[in-house]
Every structure is written in structure tokens, then in C-alpha cells.
Amino acid sequence: MKGLKVSVISLALLTAPASFALHAANSAVVNVKGTLTPAACNINVTGTANYGTISVSQLKENGLKHDGYQLGAKDVPFNISCDSPVKTAFTVTADQLGAGSTSPTNISMPDGSIYVAKSDDSFIPLIDGNGELMGYHALFLSSFEADDNTSIDRIKSDDGGVTWIKMTAQGSKSSYINAAGKQLYSWAESGELTPMATENMQGLVQVSAAIIEDYVDTITDDVSFDVNTTLALVYI
């Protein structure tokens, strides 16, 4: 039976030569254990959002946009693969969040057209080696495909999967997301609000970042940022 792990303890009768215990055991226990698991799934991220080395002069040449120096967008592919069709979702949790709602800079959508709403749960700080705030970045979802089906909708849940709503942006358009691990993200047949069981799903996490104007004016040496965000698989 796939997914069922069973262990049975072995029994042994021990006797000493030419001797017997005064009180012989008249019973023995057979222990049976098992664990039923859903289809085994893995979630993987391929690549990083690497902005490389950016000069201050290049930033200033590009100019301010949306009250900050925009670094542009990076696409990071991810996939969920299962050994049989199963309903899954995932959460998105940044290592650090804080004070995004009071950010002095805005963050552009991946296409650069407009900026997104400031949020403590979605603006992820960029911190330099001295602990100084350099800027923020935000995450987006795009281009979901499940079992070679591109006609699917991105859906999300704010209550642990009890109810689901359709995300505003679909297809190759970018969906601005929460990075506090509070929401579940999944996918459904077009027009439906029930997560669909799939073996393979792939999509893009898009990263858009911006540096604070006042911070750039203080740079006298190389500074860097290195931030992690975790996508965690959830069976539903």
C-alpha cells in the first residue's frame, strides 16, 4: 500500500541452560505502527534574484521613479512536483518584515508601470552589512501552469483554506502578494474557486526592488544586501 509504513517488533524467547524463571511470562505484545501520507510532493526554486553590482552613478543616471531608485524586476522560476495528483498550496514568508507601510520609497510593479501599495506584510527590507535600511523589495506571482494547462486561475485564502478568492491579476500579469506567511496561494480551473489536484505545477516569483534616495547619497563604500524568503508547501 503506497505511503503506508509498517513496523512490527520481533519477539524472542530466551532460556538459560538448565534453568527456568520462577514467574514465566504468559503474554507478549505485538506492536504495529503505520503512517499514511498524502502523495509525496516537492517544492523547488531555481535560481536567485541577483541584481549584481550596481553603481551609484548608474542609479542616478536612471533617475528617481516612484520616490526611489528602482532596480527593476527579476523572475525566479519555481515548481511543485508530486508523484500523483494532489491538492496543494504554498505560503510565502520573508525572513524579515517591518515598517513597510512607512517606507520613504515606493516599489514598482514588475512591468514598471505603477507602484504598489505600501504594506508591513509585503514590503521586505533590504538591509546592509551595518544594519542600515537600504530599501525594500516586494514579491509577485505570475505565469502559473499546472499539468501543461495554462488556463488556470491563481487563487488565495486568508483563512487557512476554508474559503478562496480569485486573485485580481491572472496569466502573465503580476499578482502582488503577502510575504508574512498569512495567506495560502493555490490554483484552480478557470472560473473555479476550488484548488485543483495536479502532479506538476510551475510558475514565477517576480521580485521588484527599490533603493531609498537618501541612502544612496550616503554611500562611500561598497554595500550589499542578501535576503531570503521561503515558499512552504501545504497539503490541502
What pLDDT band is residue 16 in, cutting at 50, 70 and 90? Answer: very low
Average the pLDDT over 127-143 and give the result.
94
Q: Considering only residues 95 and 13, tell me which one the structure prediction assigns the higher pLDDT.
A: 95
Residue 25 lies in a domain: no
pLDDT at 22: 55
pLDDT at 35: 78
Question: pTM of this prediction?
Answer: 0.83
**Is residue 33 in some structural domain?**
no
195-219 burial, b at 16+ Cβ within 10 Å, e below that, comes to: bbebeebbbbbbbbbbbbbebbeee
What range defines the domain where residue 92 resides? 41-235
Over 60: is that where the pLDDT of 15 sits?
no
Task: Work out how many domains the chain is built from and give that number.
Answer: 1
Compute the Cα dihedral for 149, 154, 160, 161 and give only its sign.
negative
Q: Is 80 left (phi over 0), alpha (psi -120 to 50) or beta?
A: beta
Residue type, 223: V
What is the rounded CA–CA span in Å between residue 195 and residue 205? Answer: 19
In the three-class reduction of DSSP (H, G, I as helix; E, B as strand; rest coil), residue 69 is classed as: strand
Q: Which residues pair with 133 in a beta bridge?
A: 127
Q: Quick check: is 16 in a domain? A: no
Q: Is residue 13 part of a domain?
A: no
Half-sphere exposure of 42 (CA within 13 A, CB side): 4
Domain presence at residue 185: yes
Q: What is the pLDDT of residues 146-181, one digit of tens each?
A: 998 988 999 999 999 999 999 999 999 999 999 999
Tens digits of residue pLDDT in 58-107: 999 999 999 999 999 999 999 999 999 999 999 999 999 988 899 999 99
Q: What is the mean pLDDT of the chain?
A: 88
